[in-house]
Amino acid sequence: MRDWRVVFGSNVRKVRQQRKLTQEQLAFEAKIDLTYVGGIERGKRNPSLLVMARIAGALSIPLHKLLVD
């Protein structure tokens, strides 16, 4: 089983690209720093539940769908 951070980050990137959003647009909508988005997508950051919920909201997707491998 892959690390949850890698799964979450990979899913965030996939959905963001499907929605044709840049990392900058996602960061703005989720109210987080641009560099943090990149770290999350690479599985290098450990986002809080609040940050994950903000990202899910910005992507208009239920949070649990971003955590499924």
> How many distinct structural domains can be found in the chain?
1
Give pLDDT tens digits for 5-64: 999 999 999 999 999 999 999 999 999 999 999 999 999 999 999 999 999 999 999 999
CA 51 to each of CA 12, 26, 33, 68: distance values in angstroms, whole numbers, following the listed order: 12, 12, 11, 17
For residue 31, give both structure tokens. Answer: 């109210």
pLDDT of 1 > 80? The answer is no
Q: Is the pTM of this model over 0.85?
A: yes
Domain range spanning residue 43? 4-63
Q: Does residue 68 belong to any structural domain of this protein?
A: no
> Residue 41 maps to which CATH number?
1.10.260.40
What local confidence, expressed as pLDDT, does residue 55 receive?
99
Cα 46-9-32 angle, rounded to 5 deg: 65
Residue 27 domain flag: yes
Confidence of residue 2 (pLDDT cuts 50, 70, 90): confident
Residue 28, token pair as written in the block: 């703005």
- How far is CA 52 from its chain centroid? 7
**Per the domain annotation, does 51 fall within a domain?**
yes
